[in-house]
Amino acid sequence: MKKLTLVALCAGALTLSACGGGATVEDSTAPTTGSTITSLSKDTAGAKTSTTDSTETTDPGKHQNANNRPAPAPRDQGAREVSEAPSAAPVYSDTDRALLERLQKDGVKTDGVEDQILGTANTVCHEEEDYRTTVRAVAGQLIEQNRTDLPLDRAAAVIETAAREAYC
């Protein structure tokens, strides 16, 4: 029993000592001293090796501009009032719009699912493996979402035909 207690205490002490050195979550301050990097260079003839005296300081507050003056530190800006929210409308190419218009003309409501339909259309032209399965799945979703009254086979054919005309 004494050995077990001693082993447990040693294990606990070693575990706690492994967390030392200031590497904890609470220690969020960065070191204030800059580190120095010394460049080494070799003579091209290989006869002698010398070290140069040039050093670079990696202290973030010591960046200098072309006039050797310290550059101003970046600052946060205050919040500004926005008069109008930016448009979240996606931008579609003429080809994309033509495909969507063709589907709408053929009885498929594309509003709100444009990206899914365009992605499906791209699989048709690349003739990815089982692209027909994807087209049928999307056609089935369009039917279930009441976006078309076409039967499944007809809806899938409309999507595939429109995709081939637009992209292939």
**Domain spans of the chain, in order of start:** 114-167
The average pLDDT across 136-152 equals 96
The predicted structure's pLDDT at residue 89: 76
Query: Is the predicted pLDDT of residue 24 greater than 90, yes or no?
Result: no
The answer for 134, left when phi > 0, alpha when psi is -120 to 50, beta otherwise, is alpha
pLDDT at 2: 67
Three-state DSSP at 102 gives helix
pLDDT at 130: 83
- HSE-CB at 16 with a 13 A cutoff on CA atoms is 6
Indicate the pTM of the whole model: 0.48
Q: Which residues contact 110 (CB under 8 A, 6 or more apart)?
A: 100, 103, 104, 117, 147
Q: With both helix axes pointing from N to C terminus, report the angle between 114-126 and 131-144 in degrees, rounded to the nearest 10.
A: 160
Of 20-24, 38-42, 48-52, 75-79, the range with the lowest mean pLDDT is 48-52
pLDDT at position 28 is 55
pLDDT at 38: 61
| Distance (Å, whole) CA 168 – CA 164 | 5
What are the strands, taking DSSP E only, across the chain?
A: 36-42, 49-57
pLDDT above 60: residue 141: yes
Give the number of residues written for the chain.
168
Strand partners, 40: 51
Cβ–Cβ under 8 Å, residues 63 and 73? no
Nearest to 162 by CA among 114, 101, 94: 101
Identify whether the C-beta of residue 166 lies closer than 8 Å to the C-beta of residue 121: yes
- Residue 39, pLDDT above cutoff 80: no
pLDDT tens digits for 71-115? 777 788 778 887 887 777 788 999 999 999 999 999 999 999 999
CA dist 113 and 142 (Å) reads 9
Chain mean pLDDT for the chain: 76
* Selected residue with higher pLDDT from 10 and 71: 71
H or E, element range at 100: helix 94-105
Check residue 78 and give its pLDDT: 79
Span 61-75, average pLDDT: 68
| pLDDT above 60 (res 37) | yes
